[in-house]
Amino acid sequence: MKKELTKFMAGVCLVGMMSPMAFAAPAQAPSSPVMFEKESDEVEYREHLMDLIGNYTGAIGAVVKKKFPYETDEQKKKVEEVTAAIAALASQASIGFERELSAGTKASPDIWKKKPEFMQKMNDMVTQARNLHTAAGTGNYDKLKAAFGDYAATCKACHKAFKE
C-alpha cells in the first residue's frame, strides 16, 4: 500500500503542470524530422515518459483494486487529477519514437517497421486515457473500473506487439 500511495501522490504533485496537455491532439509523428540532437536524449525521454505513465497507471490500478480508498470527494478529486496526468502524458508518448532506436531498449524494431500500426495503438491509448479521465470525473467507481480496464487493455495490446 505504501508503494501505491507514494506513486499516487507523486502523480498528484505533477498534475498542475500537465493538465492543460491532457486534451491535446491525438498522438502523431512530430512535425520536425528530429526533435532531439542526441539519440540518447530521445531514448531517455521516451523511457522516462513511459515510466511515468506506468507509475500513474499503477496508482490508478491500486484504486481500482481497492488498495487505495475512493470514497470521499477529496479522494475522487485526486484520482481525477492523476488520470488527467495520464491523459496528458499519453498525448505526448509518441514523441520519443522518431528514429529507429531500439538497441539496448525494450522497444521492438517492429515499431518502425509497422509505424502506422504503432501510431494507431498510440492513438488508442490517448483515446482510452481521455475516457479514463472522463470516467474519473464522474466519481463513480464502477465507471472508473470499466474505463481503467479498457485503458489497460490498450496498453497491453501495444506492449504485446511492440515491447520486447
The pLDDT tens digits for 25-44 are: 555 544 445 578 898 999 99
Residue environment code for 115-146, b if the CB has 16+ CB neighbours within 10 A, otherwise e: eeebbebbbbbbbbbbbbbebbbebebebbbe
Contact 56, 133 (CB under 8 A): no
Domain boundaries, the chain: 2-6+38-97+105-162
pLDDT value at residue 96 = 85
What confidence category does residue 47 fall into, taking pLDDT thresholds of 50, 70 and 90?
very high
Quick one: pLDDT at residue 66?
96
Q: Which of these ranges, 8-17, 132-141, 147-156, has the smallest mean pLDDT?
A: 8-17
Output helix, strand, coil percentages for the chain, rounded to the nearest 5: 75, 0, 25
Q: What is the pLDDT of residues 61-115, one digit of tens each?
A: 999 999 999 999 999 999 999 999 999 999 998 888 888 988 889 999 999 999 9
Q: Which CATH number fits domain 2-6+38-97+105-162: 3.40.50.2300, 2.130.10.10, 3.40.120.10, 1.20.120.10?
A: 1.20.120.10
